[in-house]
Amino acid sequence: MTEKVLVIGTGAIGAFYGGVLAKAGCEVSAVARSGFDAVSANGYRIESHLGDLSWRPSQVVRSSSEYKGEPDYLLVCLKLTVETDPVALIRPALGPRTAIVLVANGIDIDAPVAAAFPDNELVAGVAYAAVSRESSGVVRHHSEYTRLVLGRYPGGPSSGAARLAELIKQGGSSAAVNEDIVGARWQKCAWNTVFNPISALGGGLGAQDILGSEDSRQFVREAIAEFAAIAAAAGHPIPGDTADKLIAGTLRMPNYVSSMGQDQLAGRPMETEALLGNVVRIAARLGVPAPRLGTLYALLKMAEKRTPA
């Protein structure tokens, strides 16, 4: 069979995995809003060391309601800001046998989708991929280390996740299945929840700016320790050496400004609730003290007031 995939959210991640799945032989379509004309004319160009992943969508639509047919997979690759409602974007294209694949960053972000569509399989995806949108329809894939972790939400085995991981490997990239995908979300957010808000609140700080002194590294360690305590209380403990490993790994990175830092500089909405607000609320519900993360959250909410929507 030829799997039908509709990609919702064709930023860098969505366009990249669309290309990987097209290379694997899937019939991949795309919802393209701002870039509709360019994508209709030229498709997506993906510049990658993996070879030619450029692809021309089977259907290019302006909204998911215009898609013709029933997709096997709805590949939803979104930044979850206050302006984005994945449920509203998913609903019009969803068929009874469609699996929803939510590739996004954050904690507690799958629950609203699961609640809205209880009869569809929901696969959560955690992407490790250094990709960037260069212009309309053009994406650059930077890094050697690229991996998509997939798993059934809220947990357990999933034929949909297993099949999709297989297709991504056929397309030349790397994928893994994790039966505790919520734990994988916590694991990834140990970086995002701490570094993204700091980057934004510092006025667009790069990773090296953030880790430039022992005092600031100590602060990052304490903030990650709060995060780890919340993750453990939520039933998804992260390894005890996470802070040290993340700091060491980040110190090897270029002075990259996180997406949230770039959003704050550009006055765009930020992933405040997905990355941080939900974590702070879980901490409050479980009675785990989180004064540092709470401070970052309070500041970010205030800073958003200055951000034109």
**Residues of this chain that bind its own copies (CB under 8 A):** 198, 201-205, 209-210, 212-213, 215-216, 219, 222-223, 264, 291-292, 294-296, 298-299, 301-303, 305-306
Nearest residue (CB) to its own copies, 154 versus 289: 289
Minimum Å distance from CB 255 to its own copies? 11
Q: Name the residue nearer to its own copies (CB basis): 17 or 227.
A: 227
CB of residue 216 vs its own copies: minimum separation in angstroms? 6
Q: Please, are residues 42 and 160 in contact by the beta-carbon 8 Å criterion?
A: no
* Residues in contact with 7: Cβ distance below 8 Å, sequence separation at least 6, in sequence order: 14, 15, 17, 18, 28, 29, 30, 31, 57, 75, 77
CB 194 → its own copies: shortest distance, Å?
Answer: 11
Residue 279 CB, shortest distance to its own copies, in Å, is: 15
CB of 129 to its own copies, least distance (A): 27
Smaller CB separation from its own copies, 95 or 202: 202
Between 155 and 202, name the residue whose CB sits nearer to its own copies. 202
Measured from the CB atom, the residue of 77 and 198 that comes closer to its own copies is 198
